Amino acid sequence: MQQELRLTSGKTHQDVANEAGIERAYYTMIENGTRSPSPAVAQRIAKALNFDWTIFFTNVGGDMTLQSKTGTEGR
């Protein structure tokens, strides 16, 4: 989902990383699903790509947990 949003925006990994204030390699890992962002980083990436930052998370029993490619990873 995030990659599709980035590609539609015409932004590179470096563009999004710069706007979010993170390293390009870290952004690439987040996009590939090998790292999960903190809520603050998720908010900055979402702002750079103009989407709702909560797509990185899922609401389970009233608690927000990180969303992984296969489900949830915990809090």
For position 37, what pLDDT does the model report? 92
- Encode 31-65: b = buried (16+ Cβ within 10 Å), e = exposed: beeeebbeeebbbbbbebbebebeebbeeeeeeeb
Q: What is the tens place of the pLDDT at every residue in 10-42?
A: 899 999 999 999 999 999 999 998 998 999 999
Name all domains of the chain by residue range, CATH numbers in brackets. Answer: 2-68 (1.10.260.40)
Which of the four pLDDT bands, split at 50, 70 and 90, describes residue 1?
low
User: How confident is the model at residue 65, as a pLDDT?
Assistant: 58
Q: What is the pLDDT of residues 46-56, one digit of tens each?
A: 999 998 998 88
pLDDT of amino acid 57: 81
pTM confidence score: 0.74
